[in-house]
């Protein structure tokens, strides 16, 4: 069963629009970590953020913000005032102790930002 669900396969926005990428996860661990990675066309996965299960504080980094809600098992990612350079595939991933901390990725959301 898929442990990380990214329901949005593709999103297309116009530059300067705000966009939210959804991530829902499933785990029985009490201690776990959630990650977001960005994959540009070059293929490299670029680390964006890590959040542990005990820290529900939202985080903002420039135009990026993350909303972690344990009650709904969600870890959503918002890009404010999107730019063309934000076009990429974004992956949400779960890391659990009982899987040896291997990353369990969602299917990814392909974001296209047009001028």
Partner 1 sequence: KAGVTQTPRYLIKTRGQQVTLSCSPISGHRSVSWYQQTPGQGLQFLFEYFSETQRNKGNFPGRFSGRQFSNSRSEMNVSTLELGDSALYLCASKSEPYSNQPQHFGDGTRLSIL
What part of residues 52-71 is at the interface with partner 1 (CB under 8 A)?
A: 52
CB atoms within 10 A of CB 59: 13
State which residue, 42 or 71, has the beta carbon closest to partner 1: 42
Residue 113 lies near partner 1 (rule: CB under 8 A): no
> Tokens for 51?
């959040």
Task: Candidates 43, 57, 62, 115: give the one binding partner 1 (CB under 8 A).
Answer: 43
State which residue, 8 or 99, has the beta carbon closest to partner 1: 99
Which residue reads 């540009």 in tokens?
40
> Counting Cβ atoms within 10 Å, is residue 98 exposed (0-12), middle (13-18) or buried (19+)?
exposed
CB atoms within 10 A of CB 23: 27
What part of residues 68-97 is at the interface with partner 1 (CB under 8 A)?
A: 91, 93, 95
Residue 47 lies near partner 1 (rule: CB under 8 A): yes
> What radius of gyration do the chain's Cα atoms show?
14
State which residue, 28 or 44, has the beta carbon closest to partner 1: 44
Question: Under DSSP, is residue 65 helix (H, G, I), strand (E, B) or coil?
Answer: strand
Binding region for partner 1 (CB under 8 A): 33, 35, 37, 42-47, 50, 52, 91, 93, 95, 99-108
């Amino acid at each position: 069963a898929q442990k990380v669900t990214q329901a949005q396969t593709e999103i297309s926005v116009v530059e300067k629009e705000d966009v939210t990428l959804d991530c829902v996860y499933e785990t029985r661990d009490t201690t776990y970590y959630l990650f977001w990675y960005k994959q540009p066309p070059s293929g490299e996965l670029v680390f964006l953020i890590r959040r542990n299960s005990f820290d529900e504080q939202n985080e903002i980094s420039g135009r990026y913000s993350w909303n972690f809600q344990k009650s709904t098992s969600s870890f959503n990612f918002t890009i404010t005032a999107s730019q063309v350079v934000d076009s990429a595939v974004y992956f949400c991933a779960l890391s659990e102790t009982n899987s040896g901390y291997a990353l369990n990725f969602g299917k990814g959301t392909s974001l296209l930002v047009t001028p």
